[in-house]
Amino acid sequence: KQEVTQIPAALSVPEGENLVLNCSFTDSAIYNLQWFRQDPGKGLTSLLLIQSSQREQTSGRLNASLDKSSGRSTLYIAASQPGDSATYLCAVSRDYKLSFGAGTTVTVRA
Amino acid sequence: GAGVSQSPSNKVTEKGKDVELRCDPISGHTALYWYRQSLGQGLEFLIYFQGNSAPDKSGLPSDRFSAERTGGSVSTLTIQRTQQEDSAVYLCASSLLGGQVDTQYFGPGTRLTVL
């Protein structure tokens, strides 16, 4: 069974600092990895999807890397803003079922 | 365009009652998914619908849970004889084609509380 772990569970940084969120998974036979953002009381918003053949994806201030062989992904958020405060979830899939980590709750202090 | 919508947003029920949760996917999306997010278990897959194919029900936790998708669009998740451990946020997602390379778009969820 796929196990997805996210470290740290919570993170608090001052505005402007870069964020580094880690995700590891036990079964490297995945097709893709997605990073999501979840705001309190809201659903999930997809941030980035990395196909298994890709090494990274970028969108604005967000960059996600994938090392399938070692079972790791890292989400970088540059120049953090208070609006980046949320819970970030990574999810992997080898078919249509997503296996999620428990998330990293980020607080960006103004 | 409109995203995935779910209703109700909150549902409080008594133990032993039946509940129905509704999901309206993004128009034109052929695949629909249900997930459950609970404090002890995190986010877990429940069921997957793709077009006219038989649904993948492998994630449903017990036979008290069932789901249907009418006309390839709206889906209803039904929980019979609710138990306190059913309390969770139920999330619905849809994607354009389904399969392993498609981005899933999530609705806001239904928070179910079983007293």
Nearest to B106 among A43, A101, A102 (CB): A43
Per-residue pLDDT reduced to its tens digit, A60-85: 999 999 999 999 999 999 999 999 99
Per-residue pLDDT reduced to its tens digit, A39-56: 987 889 999 999 889 999
pLDDT value at residue A42 = 82
CA–CA distance, A64 with A60 (Å, rounded to integer)? 11
pLDDT band at residue A95 using 50, 70 and 90 as cut-offs: confident
Q: Which amino acid is at A89?
A: L
Q: What percent of chain A has pLDDT over 90?
A: 81
Per-residue pLDDT reduced to its tens digit, A6-28: 999 999 999 999 999 999 999 88
pLDDT at B100 over 80: no
- Chain B closest-CA separation from residue A54 CA (Å): 12
Q: Which amino acid is at B62?
A: S
CA–CA distance, A71 with A103 (Å, rounded to integer)? 16
Q: What is the dihedral of CA A22, A25, A30, A33, to 10 degrees?
A: -20
Let me know: does B36 contact B46? Beta carbons within 8 Å.
yes
Chains A and B form CB pairs within 8 A to the count of 59
Do the chains contact at A43 and B50, CB–CB below 8 Å?
no
pLDDT value at residue B1 = 58
Nearest to B42 among A36, A46, A100 (CB): A100
Per-residue pLDDT reduced to its tens digit, B20-49: 999 999 999 999 999 999 987 789 999 999
